[in-house]
């Protein structure tokens, strides 16, 4: 009888702890992906100033993106030490990434601005790249400011839908 009570208590504890741990795990994985993207983009953003050439990043969007799949590429390849950025590994079980973006091609110019027209015309609007796992919360956003090329990280803990943009209140204060 005591063993049955012990097993029942352990079952209840496991039912509460496992989902909470999965949410924490998703948060850490999506944070890692957003931080890696931001760091990679910061290296690329500095390159046009040094080389006087535009650097164009192409974001690969879509759902069901496996760990290790291409997140973004840059051209020319001399704009970054690694021309391809991959999604972080170690996704739990069959979990996959979802990636969305307000623009899939972003050009960093020698003037420090970003452009989405491929010519180098600075954009007045912000560009966001959004990442989640399995389309579940949390959603992480990397925002690039058009005229200044500034980058900010944002979070939306109420959705994992990559079609949903993070609003201004959800970004860190740089």
Question: How does the average pLDDT of the chain come out, rounded?
Answer: 87
According to DSSP, the residues that pair with 20 across neighbouring strands are none
At 80, list the tokens.
């970054």
The answer on pLDDT for 20 being more than 80 is: no
How does pLDDT run across 147-173, given as a tens digit for each residue? 778 899 999 999 999 999 998 889 875
Range with lowest mean pLDDT among 5-14, 19-28, 40-49, 81-90: 5-14
The pTM (predicted TM-score) of the whole model is 0.86
For the segment 106-127, the average pLDDT, to the nearest whole number, is 84
How does pLDDT run across 56-112, given as a tens digit for each residue? 999 999 999 999 999 999 999 999 999 999 999 866 678 899 999 999 999 999 888
Domain ranges of the chain: 2-170
At 18, list the tokens.
């496992």
Domain range 2-170, its CATH number among 1.10.3720.10, 3.55.40.10, 3.40.50.300, 3.20.20.140: 3.55.40.10
Alpha-carbon distance 106 to 120, whole Å?
9
For residue 14, the surrounding DSSP H or E stretch is helix 2-51
- Higher model confidence: residue 137 or residue 11? 137
| Cβ atoms 68, 87 nearer than 8 A | yes
């Amino acid at each position: 009888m005591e063993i049955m009570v012990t097993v029942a208590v352990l079952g209840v504890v496991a039912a509460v702890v496992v989902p909470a741990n999965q949410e924490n795990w998703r948060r850490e994985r999506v944070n890692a992906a957003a931080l890696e993207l931001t760091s990679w983009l910061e290296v690329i953003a500095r390159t046009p100033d040094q080389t006087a050439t535009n650097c164009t990043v192409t974001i690969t969007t879509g759902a069901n993106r496996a760990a290790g799949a291409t997140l973004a590429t840059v051209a020319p390849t001399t704009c970054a030490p690694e021309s391809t950025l991959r999604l972080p590994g170690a996704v739990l079980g069959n979990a996959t990434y979802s990636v969305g973006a307000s623009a899939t091609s972003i050009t960093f110019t020698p003037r420090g601005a970003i452009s989405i027209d491929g010519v180098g015309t600075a954009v007045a609007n912000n560009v966001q790249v959004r990442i989640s796992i399995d389309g579940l919360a949390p959603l992480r956003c990397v925002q690039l400011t058009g005229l200044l090329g500034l980058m900010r990280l944002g979070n939306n803990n109420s959705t994992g839908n990559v079609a949903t943009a993070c609003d201004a209140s959800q970004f860190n204060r740089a």
